[in-house]
Structures are given as C-alpha cells and as structure tokens.
C-alpha cells in the first residue's frame, strides 16, 4: 500500500474546511489514505512574514466573496464565524489528544493509526462544520468540548487533555514539523512529496494521482 497523502490544515481556514470535506473520498477512490495534520497558520505566517489573505484590503473582500461562491457551488451555505480569524489551538489540541487516546487503546494493533484518525477526523469535520456552516465559535475550549460531547467523546477526559503538557507539546511539534515540511498555507497537501497548496488544487491532485504525475 502506498503511503498516505499528508493533509495539513488549520481549523480556522475556510478553504481547509472545504478540502477536509472532500480529500478522503478523493484519495480513497484512488486507493490512498490521508493523514490529517492540523497546524497553526498563525505560527506559519509569523515564520514566513506573511499576512493572511483576509487581512489584505482587497484580497480580504474577494476571499469572503470567493468562499461563499465556492460554498454555493457545493450546495452549502457557508459562513465565517465572528470574530474571524480565530484561535484554533483548542481544536487542534483536541484532534491530537483524540489521536493519541485511540492509538494508546489500540496499541497492540499494528495498523492503529488509520483507525485512530477515523474518530479524530469525524471530530475535525464536526468542529469545521460548527465554524463554517453554523458560523459559531470553536476557539474556546468550552466550544470544542461541546462538539466533542455531541460526538460521544469523554468531555471530562478531553477537558483534562487540553491542559496536559504532553498534548500541548504534541501540537507544538506538529506545527514545527509542518513548517519544516515547507507548509505555508491551508490547506496544503503532500502527495508522495509533491506539494499542492489550496482547495482549488484538489482537481489537480486527483489528476496527479490518476496519471502518476507529470
């Protein structure tokens, strides 16, 4: 089995949301799994001296317009929560906490990681939908816990998890690893080492996988 695609995203990224909805089925149709790696775009931007598009005068207005238009095309009424952008630290920590939890429970199984991620991906999509479909907050720990509870996850254990040094350190490591891998935006995909930046690159990713590259 070829290695999984690596899907870097930030929970505060509107186009990350659109990509997250589609990437697993796009890859699965081509016999590939996807490893999801939430990271913090703020830290990435800081390192690269980049401002997010939404902060740039004309680009910001266009990006809001384009995101709504991209949503309509998919039959979705997308929204940006207020305030925007927002901190995605709690959401990202919750994701990795859940990965670690399920992986620990399934330690005996050699292929634990994909199973561990299935639950974490479901949580991620629920968080993303709260932010960009319901237009509600996912920046506060309390909001993340609500979404997790609605997914039948252990609210108390997660509340503790969000505060543990190991989970905080895990997210910091993941952000550093993303920066080291060259990630500078969200969504950002690595397909056998080949980088694709942006939701609008998904058709090209599909073509790349179909053809074996060009």
- For 91, 181, 193, the CA distances from 189, given in Å and listed in that order, are 20, 11, 9
Tell me the closest approach of the beta carbon of residue 174 to its own copies, in angstroms. Answer: 17
Report the alpha-carbon distance of residue 70 to residue 205 in Å, rounded.
18
Q: Is 61 in the site for its own copies (CB under 8 A)?
A: yes
Judged by CB under 8 A, the residue of 22, 35, 66, 192 near its own copies is 66
Judged by CB under 8 A, the residue of 2, 28, 65, 105 near its own copies is 65
Q: Is 69 in the site for its own copies (CB under 8 A)?
A: yes
Q: Is 142 exposed, middle or buried (0-12, 13-18, 19+ CB in 10 A)?
A: exposed
Concatenating the DSSP letter of every residue in 36-87 gives: EEE--HHHHHHHHT---GGGSHHHHHHHHHHHHHHHHHTT------SSSS--
Q: Look up residue 111 and give its two tokens.
A: 């292929």
Concatenating the DSSP letter of every residue in 88-116 gives: -HHHHHHHHHHHHHHHHHTTTSTTHHHHH
Q: Look up residue 149 and give its two tokens.
A: 């509870």
- Name the segment binding its own copies (CB under 8 A); options: 8-16, 45-53, 89-97, 103-111: 45-53
Q: Is 42 in the site for its own copies (CB under 8 A)?
A: no
Q: Is 197 in the site for its own copies (CB under 8 A)?
A: yes
Q: Is 38 exposed, middle or buried (0-12, 13-18, 19+ CB in 10 A)?
A: buried
Judged by CB under 8 A, the residue of 42, 85, 135, 195 near its own copies is 195
Judged by CB under 8 A, the residue of 2, 29, 48, 176 near its own copies is 48
Q: Count CB atoms within 10 A of the CB of residue 54.
A: 17
Q: Is 66 exposed, middle or buried (0-12, 13-18, 19+ CB in 10 A)?
A: middle
- Name the segment binding its own copies (CB under 8 A); options: 123-131, 140-148, 161-169, 200-208: 200-208
Q: Is 73 in the site for its own copies (CB under 8 A)?
A: yes
Q: Decide whether 56 or 118 has the Cβ nearer to its own copies.
A: 56
Q: Is 57 in the site for its own copies (CB under 8 A)?
A: yes
Q: Is 50 in the site for its own copies (CB under 8 A)?
A: yes
Q: Is 43 in the site for its own copies (CB under 8 A)?
A: no
- Name the segment binding its own copies (CB under 8 A); options: 2-10, 78-86, 97-105, 179-187: 179-187
| Residues making contact with its own copies (CB under 8 A) | 48-50, 56-59, 61-62, 65-66, 69, 72-73, 182-185, 195, 197-198, 200-201, 203-204, 207, 214
């Amino acid at each position: 089995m070829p290695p999984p695609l690596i899907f870097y995203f930030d929970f505060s990224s509107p186009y990350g949301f659109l990509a997250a909805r589609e990437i697993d089925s796009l890859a699965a149709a081509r016999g590939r799994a996807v490893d999801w790696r939430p990271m913090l775009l703020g830290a990435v931007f800081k390192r690269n001296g980049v401002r997010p598009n939404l902060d740039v005068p004309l680009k910001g207005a266009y990006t809001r317009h384009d995101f709504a238009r991209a949503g309509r095309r998919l039959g979705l009424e997308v929204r940006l929560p207020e305030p925007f952008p927002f901190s995605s630290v709690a959401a990202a920590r919750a994701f990795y906490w859940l990965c670690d939890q399920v992986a620990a429970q399934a330690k005996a199984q050699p292929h634990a990681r994909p199973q561990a991620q299935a639950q974490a991906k479901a949580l991620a999509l629920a968080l993303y939908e709260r932010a960009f479909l319901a237009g509600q907050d996912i920046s506060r720990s309390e909001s993340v816990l609500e979404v997790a509870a609605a997914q039948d996850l252990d609210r108390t254990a997660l509340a503790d998890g969000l505060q543990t040094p190991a989970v905080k350190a895990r997210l910091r490591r993941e952000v550093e690893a993303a920066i080291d891998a060259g990630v500078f935006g969200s969504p950002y995909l690595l397909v056998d080492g080949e980088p694709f930046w942006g939701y609008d690159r998904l058709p090209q990713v599909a073509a790349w996988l179909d053809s074996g590259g060009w």
